[in-house]
Structure 1
Amino acid sequence: MKLIAGVDIGNSTTEVCIAQMDSEGRMRFLSSSSRATTGTKGTIANTAGIINGLEVAMERIGKNVKELSLICINEAAPVIGDTAMETITETIITESSMIGHNPSTPAGAGQATGTILYMQHLEDGKTGIPYIVVASSKYSYESIAETINSYAKKLSIVGMILQADEAVLVENRLEQKIPIVDEVKYVEKIPEGIQAAIEVALVGQSIRMLSNPYGIATLLKLDANETKKVTPIAKSLIGKQSAVVIKTPFEHVKENKLPAGEIYFLGDSKTSVNVDAGADKIMEVLSQTGKINDISGQSGTNVGNMLRNIKKGMGELTKEEASEIKITDILAVDTLAPVQIFGALAGETCMEKAVGVAAMVKTKQLPMEKIAEELKKRLHIYVKVAGVEAVMASLGALTTPGTKLPLAILDLGGGSTDAAIINENGSVVTTHKAGAGELVSMLIQTELSLSTRHIAEEIKKYPLAKVESLYHMRLENGAIHFFEEPIEPKYFGNVVLLHPDKMIILEDDIPMEKIVAVRREVKKKVFVRNAMRALIEVAPEHNLRNIENVVLVGGSAQDFEVPEMLMEEFANYKIVCGRGNIRAIEGPRNAVATGLVMSYIGERHD
């Protein structure tokens, strides 16, 4: 009796399958496990995650890892998917002649224009001049209100800017109501004696003047050139409830542009495309280039820097020169990216059109051989690099009930989307495309301006709801769900993620409808587009109508909405499509690991 392990090292997870083979070559599957991949896929750091996965899988059948006779690992070299993903846009860095701000707790309502005056200098104020008073957090809200009430009898105080988040507390104590903007972190950087405009909208409404460059021009008396410079500020304030815009000396304005740049494709022919043309044009030019040998970017541009850093980073991992590293595929996706406005008081950004890019890298080294050697050294077990991922996934997918040859598979992973077709005679055609689950997470984080990638990962995985009372919540599909018992008050009024074990509150103040729209659109841009271009490449005569069945495998095939999106798309071609159920128990996971074991036993029979 032999115990054999199949190990699939993915970008995000490492999966293990344990099988037993008797003296006559008959196989029985015993156990499996899934653990987070340690280190970058294809590097020695993967061994820690592999060993952990083996230990868990063997422990489930009451055995020790040392009882294994053979470990089969997938051949990920020479292609390593998703080594880097970035958002490419034309970056405009402006130390603007205007400074904008949007706090979450303003007070009062209306617009005002006046000269900046620090609260400690109120005694220097002159009658007949409208002032916007600036107060730092060293003053309490009581002392601020008392001082303003006192000086308002002889000075024209038309608005206030506070460092602390106490606008409402101050406004409640003022005898003459004025618009107040608070949470201005760097109030000490506001120069005195210059003009500023302030606006606070009514509850449920958004500002109108300061979100319009011509509105700012009206309030601060700008010329055409100054109005052009203030446009990024106005764009950043669209939809906000309040804002303050401060006019700084025009000679301080500086602008530096780093262009998006051109992408160069080296394949059967040499082609190029400017990133500004958008993702559709980039992918169109890519498809016309034929087999890709390498992809590079224009020097001194955003995309050039990104592609150079990808090669440099992979070269450091594999100990190769960057010139030896080749990029063999990219996926470009149109998106929106926040661009910081330099010179702002509170890190303001405005959303600009951008292109998200995932890249697939080819190296001369065979990193899996190095991993195999390291595993042999640490475990004293024979390790075999067994086969290409897509081929192994096809073998594993055949254990799904209801499948038959010929069969097409889509392996939706974290870094890449792989496709394969296995014919009646057992021959397999495969392809590997850059971009999958991790690109989706990056784009969700970018478009929603989320603070961490972890939050984006959670949004990708789980549906949403809005808790509207202690007894019910509205699901993202519009349905109402009632609770038998009142839920904790902390959930009230919040958008939550419906994790199987608990509800997760989203701290970012973003409407549920926007989150859902961004999540679904991003998944379509990445998964549906990649699935189509991968299947067309492996389909007989490159015609999707020549494919009858598609089995979805891989971690992203577990997604709660991606398989339905693909089923809907493939229905146009009369293709039967659905999630795999590997060995009738694993769902869409473990296909490659299962295929590795089956491949070895098949070789034994041969």
Structure 2
Amino acid sequence: MKFIAGVDIGNSTTEVCVGEREEGGRLNFLASASISTTGTKGTVANVHGIKAALKQAMGKIGRNVEDISLVRLNEAAPVIGDTAMETLTETIITDSSMIGHNPSTPAGAGQAVGELLVLENLYRAVPGKPYIVVISRNHSYEEAAEQINRAAEKFDIKGLILQADEAVLVENRLNRKIPIIDEVSRIDRVPDGERAAIEVALAGQTIRMLSNPYGIATLLELDAEETRTVTPIAKSLIGKRSAVVIKTPGGDVKEHVLPAGEIYLDASNSTKVNLDEGAERIMKAVADAGTIRDISGQANTNVGNMLARIKKGMGEISGEQHADIRITDLLAVDTLAPVLISGALAGETCLEKAVGIAAMVKTQQLPMREIAGKLKEELGTEVVVAGVEAVMASLGALTTPGTRLPLAILDMGGGSTDAAVVYEDGHVVMTHQAGAGELVSMLIETELGLNDRHMAEQIKRYPLAKVESLFHMRMENGQMTFVEDSIDPRFYGRVVLLAENGLIRIEKDIPMEKIAQVRRDAKKKVFATNAFRALKKVAPEHDLKNISNVVLVGGSAEDFEIPEMLMEEFAKYRIVCGRGNIRGSEGPRNAVATGLVLSYMGD
């Protein structure tokens, strides 16, 4: 009796399959395990995670790791995916030209135009002249409301700007309702005496005048040239519930296009493409380039710095020189990123054009040899680097009930999307494509402005719901779900994720519909794009119509919507597509590890 373990080191998880070879030559699959990968894929730091996964798998059959006769590792580690994001434009506003933010508690509704006047200077007010009063945190809401009520008897007070989060408290004490904006942190920089326009939308709506350049022109009486210069302000205020625009003589507003730079493709058909031409043009250049030897970027530009950072990071991991590290594939995705506006007064952000890039980094060395040596030393067991990842995944996928040769597989992991076609004679054609689950998480995190990668991962993984009472939720598909036991009050009125172990609250106040749309768009941009270009590379005559069956494997194939998304995309080609079920029990996971054990029998 001999125990053989197949180990698949992925970007996100390390998976193990343990098989037993009986004396008659029969192979029995006994157990499997999966844990988070320790360290970066393809480095010695992976050894700790491999040992933990082996221990977990052997524990399921009441055996020790020392009982394993042979450990077989996949050979995909020299190719590692990385991601980066760069914005191509930014809005720059100087000399206090604008405040425009989205506090959760504005009060009142409507538009107002007037001269800015600090509360302490109310004595300077002139009857018949419209004013917008600026109130710092030094004044309590009772004091502020009392002074405004007195002043409103003699002067025309059109609206208020507060530093504290007290708009509703002040409004409740006013004799006449006016639009009020609060939570303006740097209120000391609001220019006293300048003309300003203020707008607060009704609950559930967004502003209309100040998010329109002609609306700003109407309220502040701007000429054609001034209207053109406030366009970036209007753009940055789209979707806000409240805003203020201040007209200052020295104010400078401009939309600055950053030096995006050119991407250089050293390939069979070497070419170059500018980053600001967009993702579609970049991906066409990558497709037309043929076999890519290396990808680099123009020096001292966004894309040049981005690709240099990726190579430098890989060099630090592998210990190799910069010249020995090559980027062999990339996936570019158009997106929008919230960027802090230069010169703004309340930490405002604006959605700016950006490009997300996932890159495949290949080194000259084979770090798996080093991992195998370290593992052999620590376990005292024979360890071999046994097979290429895509080939092993294909062997594992063939254990899915209902499959046959020829068979195409899509292995969708964290850093890369691999495709392979296995023919009846055993011939395998394969490809590695940059971009998978990690790029999706980055796009979700960026577009929603989360600044929390873990939460982005959770949003990618689970469906959404809105808790509308302590006994029912509205799902993202519109379905109403009622519960027998009351929901924890801390979830009331919040958007939540429906995880296996209970609800996860999303702390940021973002509409459920927007989160769902961003999530779906990110998955489609990455996985649909990559699935098509990967399968085209491996398909006979590079024509998808020559592929009849596709099995989806890897961590991302477990996703609750990606497989269905790809099934719809492939339907027009009459391709049978679905999640794999490795060994009839593992679902789409464990394909490579299973293939490593199977390939031992072939060897």
- Establish whether TM, by shorter chain, passes 0.5: yes
Tell me which residue corresponds to 1:95: 94
**1:502 and 2:502 are equivalent in the alignment:** yes
Q: Does 1:163 align with 2:163?
A: yes
2:562 is the counterpart of 1:523: no
Name the structure 2 match of 1:384.
384
C-alpha separation in 2, matches of 1:229 and 1:12: 46
Matched residue, 1:283 = 283
Match in the other structure for 2:83: 84
The Cα shift of 1:13 comes to 0.7
1:445 maps to which residue?
445
Q: Secondary structure at the match of 1:425?
A: coil
8 Å contact from structure 1 (residues 550, 577) kept in 2: yes
Per-residue deviation, 1:270 = 1.5
Distance 1:199 1:83 in 2: 43
Aligned equivalent of 1:572: 572
Structure 1 Cα separation of the partners of residues 568 and 152 of structure 2: 66
Distance (whole Å) between structure 2 residues aligned to residue 55 and residue 177 of structure 1: 68
Q: Is the 8 A contact 1:232 1:341 kept in 2?
A: no
Code of the aligned partner of 2:530: N
Distance 1:126 1:298 in 2: 59
- Residues 294-350 of structure 1 show CA distances to partners (whole Å, capped at 9, x for unaligned) of 112222322222111111111111122223211111112222222321111222122
CA contact (8 A) 2:230 2:253 kept: no
Aligned-pair identity (%)? 67
Q: Which residue of 1 aligns with 2:482?
A: 482
Residue of structure 2 equivalent to 1:538: 538
- Within 5 A, what are the aligned runs for 1:148-227? 148-227=148-227
| Secondary structure of 2:40 counterpart | coil
Task: Give the 3 Å change call, closer, same or farther, for CA 93–298 of structure 1 in structure 2.
Answer: farther
Q: Is the 8 A contact 1:396 1:591 kept in 2?
A: yes
Q: Tell me, in whole angstroms, the C-alpha distance in 1 between the residues paired with 2:30 and 2:204.
A: 60
Q: Deviations over 1:547-605 (max 9, x none)?
A: 222111100011111111222222222222211111111111011111112222321xx
Mapped partners of 1:46, 1:248: distance in 2: 58
Give the TM-score of the pair, scaled to structure 1. Answer: 0.94
Offset, 1:377: 2.8
Q: CA deviation at 1:4?
A: 1.9
Question: CA offsets, 1:499-536, max 9 Å, x none?
Answer: 22312232332322222222222222211221111111
Separation of aligned partners in 2, 1:191 and 1:31:
70
Which secondary structure state, in structure 2, belongs to the residue aligned with residue 468 of structure 1?
Answer: strand
Are the equivalent residues in 1 in contact too, given 2:232–2:253 (CA < 8 A)?
no
Matches within 5 A, 1:403-442: 403-442=403-442
Is the contact made by 2:340 and 2:347 (CA closer than 8 Å) also made in structure 1?
yes
How many Å separate the matches in 1 of 2:316 and 2:260?
26
Contact 1:95 1:341 in 2 (8 A): no
Instruction: For 2:306 and 2:27, locate their aligned partners in 1 and report how far apart those are by CA, in whole Å.
Output: 47
Q: 1:126 to 1:470 in 2, by over 3 A?
A: same
- Distance in 2 (CA, whole Å) between partners of 1:259 and 1:359 is 20
Q: Say which SS state the counterpart of residue 369 (structure 2) adopts.
A: helix
Deviation at 1:255, TM superposition (A): 6.8
* Matching of residues 88-487 of structure 1 within 5 Å: 88-95=87-94, 97-250=97-250, 256-487=256-487
**Structure 1 residue 121: Cα displacement:** 3.4
| Amino acid in the other structure paired with 1:505 | R
How far residue 416 of structure 1 moved from its aligned partner, in angstroms, is: 0.6
| CA–CA separation in structure 2 for the residues paired with 1:397 and 1:146 | 74
1:241-260 Cα shifts (integer Å, max 9, x gaps): 21112234526667754222
Which residue of structure 1 aligns with residue 596 of structure 2?
596
Matched residues in 1 for 2:262 and 2:357: separation? Answer: 13
Alpha-carbon distance, 1:363 to partner: 0.9
CA apart distance, 1:483: 2.4
Give, in angstroms, the shift of residue 394 of structure 1.
0.8
CA contact (8 A) 1:397 1:582 kept: yes
**Does the Cα contact within 8 Å between 2:88 and 2:354 map onto a contact in 1?**
yes
Bigger shift: residues 162-171 or 70-79: 70-79
Letter in 2 for 1:493: G
Letter paired with 2:17: C
Cα 1:253–1:280, aligned 2, differ >3 Å: closer, same or farther? closer
Label 1:132 to 1:365 Cα distance change in 2 as closer, same or farther (>3 A): same
Letter in 2 for 1:457: E
Question: More deviation in 106-115 or 393-402?
Answer: 106-115
Judge which range, 120-129 or 307-316, deviates more.
120-129
User: Which residues of structure 2 form unaligned runs of 5+?
Assistant: none
Distance 1:255 1:464, change over 3 A: closer
> 8 Å contact 1:99–1:233 — kept in the other structure?
no
> Following TM superposition, by how much is the alpha carbon of 1:43 offset from its aligned partner in structure 2, in angstroms?
1.5
Q: 1:214/1:472 Cα in 2 relative to 1: closer, same or farther (>3 Å)?
A: same
Task: Tell me, in whole angstroms, the C-alpha distance in 2 between the residues paired with 1:195 and 1:327.
Answer: 54
Task: Flag the 1:225–1:308 CA change in 2: closer, same or farther, 3 A.
Answer: farther
Distance across 1 between alignment mates of 2:299 and 2:248: 35
Assess if the C-alpha contact under 8 Å between 1:445 and 1:451 holds in 2.
yes
What CA deviation, in whole Å up to 9, does each residue of 1:413-469 have, x standing for no partner?
Answer: 111110111111212111000111111111122222223122221221112223333
Q: Deviations over 1:100-147 (max 9, x none)?
A: 233221112222223333323334545554332222223221111122
Contact 1:102–1:244, Cα closer than 8 Å, also in 2: no
User: How many Å apart are 1:234 and its aligned residue?
Assistant: 1.3
Alpha-carbon shift at residue 240 of structure 1 (Å): 2.1
Cα distance in 2 for partners of 1:75, 1:464 equals 38
Distance 2:193 2:34 in 1: 64
Following the alignment from structure 2 to structure 1, what is the Cα–Cα distance between the partners of residues 45 and 470? 47
Distance 1:204 1:588, change over 3 A: closer
Say if 1:91 and 1:367 are closer, same or farther in 2 by CA, change over 3 A.
farther
Deviation of the 1:33 alpha carbon? 0.9
Distance 1:544 1:204 in 2: 46
Looking at structure 2, the residues matched to 533 and 486 of structure 1 have their Cα atoms a distance apart, in angstroms, of 48
Aligned-partner Cα distance in 1 for 2:39–2:137: 45
Counterpart amino acid of residue 94 in structure 2: E
For residue 98 of structure 1, report the CA deviation from its aligned partner: 2.6
**SS of 2:165 mapped into structure 1:** coil
| Residues paired across the two proteins, number | 602
The answer to whether the 8 A contact 1:473-1:482 is kept is: yes
Instruction: Give the Cα–Cα distance (whole angstroms) in 2 for the partners of residues 501 and 571 of structure 1.
Output: 34
Paired residue type of 2:88: T
Structure 1 Cα separation of the partners of residues 300 and 217 of structure 2? 35
Q: Is the contact between residue 92 and residue 258 of structure 1 (CA under 8 Å) also seen in structure 2?
A: no
Report the secondary structure of 2:292's partner residue.
coil
CA distance in 2, matches of 1:230, 1:520: 33
CA distance in structure 2 between the partners assigned to 1:90 and 1:300 by the alignment: 16
Residue identity opposite 2:7 in structure 1: V
Instruction: Show CA shifts across 1:351-371 (max 9, x none).
Output: 233322111111112111121
Shift of 1:150: 2.8
Q: Once the 2 structures are TM-superposed, how far is the Cα of residue 78 of structure 1 from its aligned partner?
A: 3.0
User: Whole-Å Cα distance in 1 between the matches of residues 339 and 487 of structure 2?
Assistant: 39
Aligned to 1:556: 556
* RMSD of aligned alpha carbons: 2.1
Are the aligned partners of 1:95 and 1:255 in contact in 2 as well (CA < 8 Å)?
A: no
